[in-house]
Amino acid sequence: MSKYEDFKNSIQKIADVGFASAVLGWDQETYMPPKGAEFRSRQLATLAGIAHGMFTEPTLEKQIRELAADKTLGVKEAKNVELTLEELDKQKKYSSDFVEEMSRSVSACFSGWNEAREKNDFKVFSSSLEKLIDLKKKECELLGYTEHPYNALLDQYEKKLTVKDVDVLFNQVRAELVPFVKKIFAAKQVNDDFFYQQYDKQKQWDFGIEILKQMGYDFEAGRQDVSAHPFTTNFNARDVRVTTRTSENNLSEMLWSCIHEGGHALYEQGLPAEEYGLPLSEAVSLGIHESQSRLWENNVGRSLAYWKNNFPRIQQIFPEQLKSVSAEQFYFAMNKVEPSLIRTNADELTYHFHIMIRYEIEKLLLEEKIKVAELPEIWNAKYKEYLNIDVPDARQGVLQDVHWSHGSLGYFPTYSIGSFYAAQFFAQAEKQINGLKNQIEKGELKNLLNFLREKVHKHGKMYSAQALCEQISGEKLNFTYFMNYAKEKYGKIYNL
């Protein structure tokens, strides 16, 4: 066995432990009985400690550093070693005790969040979240940062992304998107009443499965289940699972979570399985990951072309509810722009206001300018400021997202970045795929999926997010693509 093969085998064993932990995490959010939470927390903490210990073992470190100096390695092999060494140097900053403490805290926080949502009481969640935020502050110090502690957390999800970068993007949102949305608010509103009738959950579920299959999601390499907060998880490229949620009184819940999570899952199923456990089998960044879900959800799933094909089918499933509705009316309704409480249900324009709110709150927490106990009050004030709506309770406010209970501070900005990447990538797909709109109108999505497989999925972490964007579109991330897309689409819908 060569040194590289020996290294590969060691890294894949560590991945085995990590993915075993991921299976337990998936179970925790889908099927685990409530009384299992205490021991699940212990199990996840133990596995996290084992994986960390295996990765930071001195013999493996010596092996990785020797390989990093080996100039005879192939391009892919060298990249796997380079990225593994980079991750090792970061992980060495954590002690096993800290890793296990973080894992226990996350499990306790997630359980607290679930209970708080059930009771609609933030105080139930407050103490466990406060402990987790304190740990995240310690983590920033362990990792090190320049200028702002939040940069240490941003870097975990979107490498080299900084507060300055995010501030520039959100300044563009304020300067260009906010005035455009105000014009929409002043225009005649579209009707979406028919979305909020009684829709049988099982029929919705079955249609969601049809949608996923049409997109190209491989059910022999995945499955769909129900969770409080829709998500995608993977244990390898041949086992990628999605979850959704359905509401009998809101058709949009299931539709957009299926398409959105399906976009994430297609990315994971398209990553190179032969690189299992190694960096080249992983998504390059959360922003690029989100670009895949947003491209499918918004640029495809909320397009008129998509529903020219799919509306007759959903009308057949729900004839009474949709008997007086046309495909164009259905398209207008799904793209209604209005202030809303719930981020995951927001339209694709005001969605970015939801992200700005969370970004600003996270920065304030890291700067220690606010306390965890003050979050509901601050949250509610920002929703009034940005969206001019009153938050009625914690469940529809500060408790709506699962991310903080996972310790995922620094994650939210990638949602907006992903939407901006999506607009840029889809514009390029339209240039390169002849008659793409006509194909979508016929329900033929294979060429678009192949484009994404070739341009994004197959590369794993071979290139940085910035380099990948330049390869695909010839330029760096450019907010103008999103604004052009928004103006063209919504200008027609609202007769601006």
> What are the residue numbers of the active site?
261
Enter the DSSP assignment of 247: B
- Identify the helix (H) or strand (E) that includes residue 222: strand 222-226
- Number of helices (H), then strands (E), in the chain: 22, 3
DSSP string covering 388-409: -----SSTTTTTS-SGGGGT-T
Pick the closest to residue 76 from 281, 242, 265 (CA basis). Answer: 281
The 3-class SS string of the chain reads CCHHHHHHHHHHHHHHHHHHHHHHHHHHHHCCCHHHHHHHHHHHHHHHHHHHHHHCCHHHHHHHHHHHCCCCCCHHHHHHHHHHHHHHHHHCCCCHHHHHHHHHHHHHHHHHHHHHHHHCCCHHHHHHHHHHHHHHHHHHHHHCCCCCCHHHHHHHHCCCCCHHHHHHHHHHHHHHHHHHHHHHHHCCCCCCHHHHCCCCHHHHHHHHHHHHHHHCCCHHHEEEEECCCCCEEEEECCEEEEEECCECCEHHHHHHHHHHHHHHHHHHHHCCHHHCCCHHHCCCCHHHHHHHHHHHHHHHCCCHHHHHHHHHHHHHHCHHHHCCCCHHHHHHHHCCCCCCCCHHHCCCCCHHHHHHHHHHHHHHHHCCCCCHHHHHHHHHHHHHHHHCCCCCCCCCCCCCCCHHHHCCCCCCHHHHHHHHHHHHHHHHHHHHCCCHHHHHHCCCCHHHHHHHHHHCHHHCCCCCHHHHHHHHHCCCCCHHHHHHHHHHHHHHHCCC
Burial class (CB in 10 A: 0-12, 13-18, 19+), 398: buried
